[in-house]
Amino acid sequence: MTHLHLTKPIAFIDVETTGINTREDRIVDICIIKILPNGEKETLKSIINSTISIPVESTKIHGITDIDVQGKPTFREFASKVTSFIDGCDLCGFNIIGFDLGILQSEFQRAEFSFSSEGRKIIDVMKIYHKLEPRDLNAAHLKYCGKSLENVHKAEADVNATICVLEAQLEKHNDLPRNVSELDEFCNPKDPSWIDNEGKFAWLNGKAIINFGKYKGKTFEFVSQNDSSYFQWIIRGDFSAEVKDIANNAINGKFPEKLNC
């Protein structure tokens, strides 16, 4: 890449899955292309044994069947390679925030591997694209790279297309940031009062509060004292791994603490 200024490696990630539920569905195809600050590229890819049946509807999208994944590594078996490969990397992908990171976090959790996006800059090429002109990856590739995307919904083809689109976006739109930190802010505008990336919890007068639902505006201390089962409900519910971790800590009496900078 010639238009993105890198000070550390960045990993472009794409996964194909058994479905769109980031909590329950599984990865069947993964490709990660790591670009180093000197421009060198490294690739990690594999078909993954999902250990559950792949629905026909999903096979129609990516072409991977139950037979294709037989004898392939499970995510538990492949997880250490992923964590090692992306160690020290910022992350990038097409809808990585809305999908890929969520399903990766769930897979790592099931495999009992520690994984966190904390401290990493995250660029979502889809968010950049949708802010500029709403379309999907194929349309983005046609617009920015000048040709239709071949082998659509194959992880390696999709991740290479994502790299091509981001490079073309940076070349065409001079007002886009040229470094990972500012692109992270462009992709992830976050209210400074939010504790988590979704704003489920927030700061109010230096206190951690619930920022949604029936206890919106109530402090963690209040909810813990009056209805501690609420945090259990969050852990069982359809929330991100980050939100569930905060709720789990709250059950153990560890509330978020705001650092004074």
| Average confidence (pLDDT) over 159-178 | 95
Which residue segments constitute the domains of the chain, with CATH numbers given?
10-187 (3.30.420.10), 201-251 (no CATH)
Return d(Cα 244, Cα 232) in angstroms, integer.
9
This model's pTM is above 0.95? no
260 pLDDT higher than 70: no
Q: pLDDT value at position 110?
A: 94
Q: pLDDT value at position 78?
A: 98
Q: pLDDT value at position 261?
A: 43
118 pLDDT higher than 90: no
**Is the distance from CB of 191 to CB of 131 less than 8 angstroms?**
no
| pLDDT tens digits for range 128-158 | 998 888 678 988 999 999 988 887 788 999 9
| pLDDT tens digits for range 25-67 | 999 999 999 999 999 999 999 999 999 999 888 999 999 999 9
Phi and psi at residue 96, in whole multiples of 5°? -65, -35
Return d(Cα 197, Cα 216) in angstroms, integer.
17
Return d(Cα 122, Cα 196) in angstroms, integer.
15
* 186 exposure class (CB count in 10 Å sphere: 0-12, 13-18, 19+): middle
* Cβ-based neighbours of 253, under 8 Å, separated by 6 or more: 224
| Average confidence (pLDDT) over 104-117 | 93
